[in-house]
């Protein structure tokens, strides 16, 4: 380690030994200084950044760790910004948290700080799904809200997400303005705490009823559920916040045979049964799949620790279980909702759906077939929420989502919601059995026949450190300076650049404006219908390549053959772009 960095680290650590920090924290800092210089450096070499989505980091002592002091400084900065925006008003905030170690401690500290700033605070009595926090902000007419969660990150992590008065995560200009205010909090002595405890109101199960009743209001096929109420459904909360509300929501929909994975229904921030609490990974879903195989269940559903992402596995005709990706889950639940809205006579041209720019184009094809407008937006549910907000009072939002396992039905929540998504996935399965005699997997194949077989792939290229960040930046510069003229032999016919907000028709050279927020994302569309999106991560040292391919599927019997062809094409695309 260079001398300047070592000096900086030691100076910052000494300030923690001398400042207004609790004794246990000081002892831990002292231990690191004497016995673990590497961890000391990691803990103090920089300040944990409050980004556009809030905080996320490893828990521990230090300026670069999640602890009550870094959480407190972020909260005081947010409080100061709220006082600027809503001067003269009684500011109201809602606070929720997930199952992670220290989440309750952090949430109570956040509540204390907001109350000490004179705010009215609604704090959930225990862990709750993130979407319920979003709902609470809207239902209780709050100005802001915070959820303490690190989503599906490893157990060492925790996080802090800030929400605005529409129940969505903060978007421009508030995100940057909050970051600026947080940056002005340079000492823990600036944090107000220990006052106005009477300003804190606890939310309990009575509030859950209000939320669950709204989720129940999304139901579209109660008759089908009644016929197949005993359909076997295996559910796992992966030790997280869905443990009570997801089974209860399914029960209210009418399902009577929901089998929870017992080992993973134990609430624990240590996530003892999985390496990663991420329902995208088959290893995380293994216990649920094994239980489903023993029980002969038709449907497996899972939620991540804060119950905003949904994982789905479906039984095939051979009795195997296929884990869906986020695109397939969106297409299935979205197609179900559009079909039922149409059958119930609820479509009149004043409805819309939303997907992100890196999500499957199949959802657009389905929406087009029903005459429903499909909006594209940047990656992140706050952008989906923004489009919902812009259309309020004009047109009605049905549903939408993103490839990273997030789906939202209805507009009473403004973040992805796995509680409602699980209930609608189960209802779709009952409806498919009732009206077509099909499993959901069988219906998905029929959708491929009807709309085209769309398939997606993803490659994440990791480049760590300062040099890695520069290399990622250079890749984007090079793609802009010398965009590919063809990909896997098919000419590139259109390029979307979300940094310049221009679409280029490569045949004519004509440029048109993209009505979107700016982001460092490039997309290449080829003559044969292939889509390649290139996007550096905003939070990690990686650049992501999203591949979308499609082909006609003449009949279900050719599913495996075309599936294999599309898989091979995605692998060939990766090679063509020198990614493998």
- Indicate which residues carry an active-site annotation: 151
Q: How far apart are CA 396 and CA 413, in angstroms?
A: 14
Q: Which alpha helices (H) appear in 19-67, and where do they start and end? A: 23-35, 37-44
Structure token digits, residue 448: 């491929």
Structure token digits, residue 109: 């500290």
Are residues 401 and 407 in contact, defined by beta-carbon separation less than 8 angstroms? yes
The contacts of residue 227 (CB under 8 Å, 6+ apart) are: 430, 433, 434
> 299-303 and 200-203: which strand pairing?
unpaired
Which helix (H) or strand (E) is 202 found in, with range?
A: strand 200-203
Distances (CA, A) of 401 to 34, 158, 357, 408: 49, 24, 11, 6
Are residues 110 and 188 in contact, defined by beta-carbon separation less than 8 angstroms? no
CB atoms within 10 A of CB 366: 22
Distances (CA, A) of 453 to 58, 366, 549, 560: 41, 12, 8, 11
Structure token digits, residue 472: 């990622």
Does a cis peptide bond (omega within 30 degrees of 0) precede residue 173? Answer: yes
In 262-421, beta strands by DSSP E: 299-303, 310-315, 321-323, 351-356, 373-377, 396-402, 406-409
């Amino acid at each position: 380690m260079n001398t300047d960095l070592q000096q900086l680290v030691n100076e910052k650590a000494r300030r923690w030994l001398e400042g207004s920090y609790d004794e246990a924290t000081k002892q831990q800092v002292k231990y690191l200084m004497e016995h673990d210089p590497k961890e000391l450096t990691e803990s103090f070499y920089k300040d944990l950044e409050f980004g556009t989505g809030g905080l996320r980091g490893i828990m521990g002592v230090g300026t670069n760790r999640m602890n009550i002091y870094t959480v407190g400084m972020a909260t005081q900065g947010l409080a100061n910004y709220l006082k600027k925006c809503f001067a003269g008003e009684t500011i109201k905030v809602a606070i929720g948290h997930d199952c992670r170690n220290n989440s309750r401690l952090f949430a109570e500290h956040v509540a204390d700080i907001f109350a000490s700033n004179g705010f009215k605070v609604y704090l959930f009595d225990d862990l709750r799904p993130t979407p319920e926090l979003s709902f609470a902000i809207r239902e209780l007419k709050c100005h802001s809200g915070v959820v303490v969660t690190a989503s599906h990150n490893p157990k060492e992590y925790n996080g802090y997400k800030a929400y605005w008065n529409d129940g969505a995560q903060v978007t421009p200009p508030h995100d940057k303005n909050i970051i600026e205010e947080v940056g002005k909090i340079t000492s823990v002595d600036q944090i107000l705490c220990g006052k106005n405890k009477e300003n804190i109101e606890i939310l309990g199960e009575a509030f859950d009823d209000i939320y669950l009743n709204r989720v129940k209001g999304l139901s579209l096929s109660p008759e089908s559920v009644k016929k197949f109420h005993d359909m076997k459904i295996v559910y796992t909360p992966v030790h997280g916040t869905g443990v009570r509300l997801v089974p209860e929501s399914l029960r209210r929909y009418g399902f009577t045979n929901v089998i929870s994975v017992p080992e993973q229904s134990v609430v624990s921030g240590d996530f003892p049964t999985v390496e990663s609490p991420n329902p995208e990974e088959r290893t995380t879903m293994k216990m649920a799949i094994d239980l489903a195989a023993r029980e002969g269940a038709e449907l497996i559903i899972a939620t991540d620790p804060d119950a905003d992402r949904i994982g789905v596995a479906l039984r095939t005709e051979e009795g195997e279980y296929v884990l869906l990706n986020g695109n397939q889950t969106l297409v299935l639940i979205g197609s179900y909702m559009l079909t039922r809205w149409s059958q119930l006579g609820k479509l009149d041209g004043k409805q819309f759906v939303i997907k992100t720019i890196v999500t499957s184009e199949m959802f657009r094809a389905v929406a087009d077939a029903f005459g429903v407008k499909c909006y594209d937006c940047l990656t992140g549910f706050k952008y989906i929420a923004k489009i919902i907000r812009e259309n309020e009072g004009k047109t009605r939002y049905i549903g939408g989502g993103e490839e990273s396992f997030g789906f939202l039905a209805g507009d009473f929540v403004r973040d992805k919601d796995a509680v409602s998504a699980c209930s609608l996935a189960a209802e779709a399965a009952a409806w498919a059995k009732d009206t077509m005699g099909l499993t959901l997997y069988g219906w998905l194949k029929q959708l491929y026949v009807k709309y085209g077989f769309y398939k997606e792939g993803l490659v994440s290229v990791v480049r760590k450190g300062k040099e890695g960040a520069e290399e990622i930046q250079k890749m984007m510069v090079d793609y802009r300076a010398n965009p590919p003229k063809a990909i896997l032999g098919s000419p590139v016919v259109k390029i979307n650049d979300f940094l310049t907000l221009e679409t280029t028709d490569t045949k004519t050279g004509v440029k048109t404006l993209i009505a979107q927020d700016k982001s460092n994302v490039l997309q290449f569309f080829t003559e044969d219908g292939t889509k390649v999106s290139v996007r550096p991560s905003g939070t990690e040292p990686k650049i992501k390549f999203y591949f979308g391919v499609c082909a006609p599927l003449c009949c279900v019997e050719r599913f495996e053959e075309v599936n294999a062809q599309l898989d091979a094409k995605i692998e060939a695309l990766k090679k063509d772009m020198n990614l493998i």
